[in-house]
């Protein structure tokens, strides 16, 4: 039987075949609120030009490289031994992933670039999805911050150049090996042990269950013998003589998202390590540096995913024809687009406010960092899901758009560096401090945080109230549910 002509189904077949999404856009130039914020803070012209160049890269070469790197055959793989049978314990990345990381690292995403510029760049980069790049960036940024704040002169001289080197075997090479099987987010339950050797160095023994971005250097936790305190250590993959450290990669985790970078299980079998900071202050230092930086990056990453979902949904709704008119004209689709835009606009203003608070050491930052980690990651998951509904069946096709990958990455962002319950406890703790609570209330126009709620409900209500307050101060007509 001859199939009926396409016209009967009300599609414009040729137009839909040409749908390319956001490919080719300059993610910076297309973001007017971002450019207005930079103008208001009188950002230096050279910094704005760097952001313009990165926006072009993200919408062009970087986006294409990341898409290629996420083909099943190009995902990272573990090489346990070389062809001579010697142990190498190396994560092999495809050429596209390595090039993507080098391009991002060369764009100035680490210090000494100023904090605000690094965070805006993280937001732009994450519009390509986590990509195997953004998590690695967060790990490396947090590790560099740890060494800059708490490392000794020799540690700074040796390790900071390694972290900032785009020509190394794995660019953006900083890792974080903290979680253990029995403790999860409760790091104080860690069982890995540290023993001091006769030469004054440390030897670690134990199993790390989630090891993010195993590269050339990582931060890890262990309890020194005879102590119940968790101390922090720097662990290199290779020793000064070039030989492998006793850090055995057992397997690469088969996680649902952020698949472009490896997450592994690693066993320490007398691994050499360098203590960083005071041993009794390990957990406090970890929270103030590495975890804090990672949570800020989750907010940036979630906002980037939210923005990409909005752009893709808008473009598709203009292209897709339903009943002889663009899908964007259907009431349900228009409502979904307005919801995603509302989440993005409110979230972006909250993100800008967090940047300001961190820069100015405003006590409100102690509320905003865990609050945005929770609120922005949840909003990203919601926005991507709304966008997929606009795409209908095409929204779940991995070879049609970035949305399936964004969806998988978004749930990982919600869990990484603390689930909602963990983050809610940190928000509540910050709100119990008078200075932080007062500073946060100021952002709500003087109103107290939502009353009569606790846990995640409190956080979601506080996040929505923050977005509404910031939007109203800018005269926006958008609402936040």
Q: Percent of the chain beyond pLDDT 70? A: 94
> At CA 13, angle to CA 11 and CA 17, rounded to 5?
130
Q: Are 410 and 381 in contact (CB under 8 A)?
A: yes
Task: Enter the pTM of the model.
Answer: 0.93
The CATH code belonging to domain 284-473 is 1.20.140.10
What is the pLDDT, as a whole number, of residue 391?
A: 96
275 bridge partner residues = 233
Cα-flanking dihedrals φ and ψ of residue 359, to 5°?
-60, -40
Banded pLDDT at 478 (limits 50, 70, 90): very low
Q: Are 100 and 62 in contact (CB under 8 A)?
A: yes
- C-alpha to C-alpha distance for 307 and 58, rounded to whole angstroms: 13
Helix, strand, coil % over all residues of the chain, rounded to 5 = 55, 15, 30
What is the pLDDT, as a whole number, of residue 8?
A: 42
Task: Map out the domains of the chain as residue ranges.
Answer: 174-279, 284-473
Q: Is the pLDDT of residue 294 over 60?
A: yes
Cα-flanking dihedrals φ and ψ of residue 223, to 5°?
-100, 120
Q: Are 126 and 303 in contact (CB under 8 A)?
A: yes
- C-alpha to C-alpha distance for 234 and 465, rounded to whole angstroms: 41
What is the pLDDT, as a whole number, of residue 473?
A: 87
Nearest to 201 by CA among 270, 152, 150, 284: 270
Is there a common fold for 174-279 and 284-473?
A: no
> Is residue 4 exposed (0-12), middle (13-18) or buried (19+ Cβ within 10 Å)?
exposed
For the residues of 66-130, what is the DSSP string, one character each?
HHHHTSGGGS-EEEEE-TTS-EEEEEEPPHHHHHHHHHHHHT--STTS-HHHHHHHHHHHGGG-S
C-alpha separations of 100 from 70, 323, 429 in Å: 12, 41, 39
Class in CATH terms, 174-279 = mainly beta
Q: Is the pLDDT of residue 68 over 90?
A: yes
What is the pLDDT, as a whole number, of residue 470?
A: 97
Task: Please write the tens of the pLDDT for every residue from 226-245.
Answer: 898 999 999 999 999 999 99
- Length of the chain equals 481
What is the pLDDT, as a whole number, of residue 14?
A: 52
């Amino acid at each position: 039987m001859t199939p009926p002509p396409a016209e009967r189904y009300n599609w414009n077949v040729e137009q839909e075949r040409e749908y390319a999404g956001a490919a080719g856009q300059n993610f910076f130039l297309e973001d007017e609120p971002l450019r207005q914020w930079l103008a208001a803070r009188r950002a230096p012209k050279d910094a704005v030009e760097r952001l313009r160049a990165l926006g072009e890269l993200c919408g062009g070469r970087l986006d294409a490289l990341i898409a290629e790197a996420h083909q099943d055959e190009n995902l990272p793989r573990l090489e346990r031994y070389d062809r001579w049978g010697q142990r190498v314990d190396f994560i092999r990345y495809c050429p596209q992933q390595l090039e993507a990381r080098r391009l991002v690292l060369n764009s100035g995403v680490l210090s000494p670039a100023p904090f605000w510029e690094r965070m805006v760049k993280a937001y732009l980069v994450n519009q390509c999805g986590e990509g195997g790049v953004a998590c690695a960036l967060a790990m490396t940024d947090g590790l560099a911050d740890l060494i800059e704040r708490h490392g000794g002169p020799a540690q700074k001289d040796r390790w900071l150049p390694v972290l900032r080197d785009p020509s190394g075997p794995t660019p953006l090479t900083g890792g974080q090996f903290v979680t253990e099987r029995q403790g999860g987010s409760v790091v104080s339950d860690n069982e890995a042990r540290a023993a001091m050797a006769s030469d004054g160095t440390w030897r670690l023994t134990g199993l790390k269950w989630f090891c993010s971005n195993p590269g050339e250097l990582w931060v890890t936790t262990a309890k020194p013998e005879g102590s119940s305190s968790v101390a922090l250590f720097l662990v290199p993959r290779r020793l000064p003589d070039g030989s492998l450290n006793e850090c055995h990669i057992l397997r690469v985790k088969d996680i649902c998202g952020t698949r472009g970078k490896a997450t592994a299980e690693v066993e320490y079998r007398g691994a050499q390590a360098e203590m960083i900071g005071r041993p009794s202050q390990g957990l406090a230092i970890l929270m103030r540096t590495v975890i804090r930086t990672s949570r800020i990056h989750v907010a940036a990453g979630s906002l980037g995913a939210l923005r990409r979902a909005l752009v893709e949904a808008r473009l598709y709704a203009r292209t897709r024809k339903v009943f002889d008119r663009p899908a964007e004209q259907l009431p349900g689709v228009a409502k979904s687009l307005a919801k995603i835009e509302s989440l993005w606009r409110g979230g972006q203003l909250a993100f800008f406010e967090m940047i300001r608070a961190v820069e100015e050491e405003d006590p409100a930052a102690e509320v905003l960092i865990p609050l945005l980690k929770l609120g922005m990651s949840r909003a990203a998951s919601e926005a991507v899901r709304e966008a997929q509904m606009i795409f209908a069946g095409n929204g779940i096709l991995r070879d049609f758009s970035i949305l399936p990958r964004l969806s998988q990455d978004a749930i990982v962002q919600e869990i990484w560096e603390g689930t909602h319950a963990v983050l809610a406890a940190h928000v509540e703790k910050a709100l119990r401090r008078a200075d932080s609570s007062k500073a946060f209330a100021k952002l709500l126009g003087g109103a107290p945080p939502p009353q009569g709620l606790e846990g995640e409900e409190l956080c979601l209500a506080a996040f929505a109230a923050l977005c509404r307050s910031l939007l109203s101060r800018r005269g926006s007509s958008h609402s936040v549910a």
